[in-house]
């Protein structure tokens, strides 16, 4: 199941985003802060976090690396009206997946929907890499299996 956490202090924005992503078939969890939903990040039932609202520069710059330590493949999408360029640069270095401006009209949700879809695709690819490396057959094993199936 594709789990998404929407963390935003503004309840109206939170509910609006939740409705959009529920319509897209995602398992949505909402909270006024990520701390309230940390268990979902740790047990990997949440793969994408959408952070929105007004940000305290020092808190966000410290918080993003902590989330990435909980789940290194977690995709973090930051949605804001305005954010200082220095803060945005430091957060990008810490590994956010995407930064978008807050949607103002219904049509502007398309960008956010595409980013969330891409974030889930990226997450699943990252999760599958380790399994593919160790479960993949060698070319010799494939050839032997193919020859024995002919006989």
Q: Which two tokens stand for residue 150?
A: 């002919």
E strands present in 32-102: 48-52, 75-80, 98-101
Query: Which ranges of the chain have pLDDT less than 50?
Result: 130-139, 143-144
Share of the chain above pLDDT 70, in %: 80
Per residue in 62-92, pLDDT (tens digit) is 888 888 888 888 999 988 877 788 888 888 8
Is this structure's pTM higher than 0.85?
no
Determine the pLDDT at residue 134.
42
Per residue in 1-10, pLDDT (tens digit) is 789 999 888 8
Q: What is the mean pLDDT of the chain?
A: 80
Count of helices and strands (H, E) across the chain: 6, 5
9 vs 12, 31, 52, 54, 55, CA distance in Å? 9, 8, 8, 8, 10
Determine the pLDDT at residue 86.
85
Determine the pLDDT at residue 92.
86
Determine the pLDDT at residue 130.
43
The full set of domains in the chain, from first to last, is 3-150 (3.40.50.2300)
């Amino acid at each position: 199941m594709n789990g998404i956490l929407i963390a935003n202090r503004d309840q109206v924005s939170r509910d609006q985003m939740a409705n959009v992503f529920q319509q897209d078939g995602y398992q949505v969890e909402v909270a006024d802060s990520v701390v309230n939903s940390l268990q979902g990040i740790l047990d990997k039932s949440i793969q994408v976090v959408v952070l929105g609202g007004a940000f305290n520069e020092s808190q966000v710059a410290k918080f993003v690396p902590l989330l990435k330590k909980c789940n290194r493949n977690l995709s973090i999408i930051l949605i804001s009206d305005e954010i200082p360029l220095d803060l945005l640069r430091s957060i990008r270095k810490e590994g956010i997946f995407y930064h978008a401006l807050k949607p103002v009209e219904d049509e502007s949700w398309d960008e956010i929907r595409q980013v969330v879809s891409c974030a889930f695709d990226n997450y699943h690819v990252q999760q599958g890499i380790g399994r593919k490396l160790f479960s993949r057959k060698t070319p010799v094993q494939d050839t032997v299996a193919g020859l024995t199936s002919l006989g």
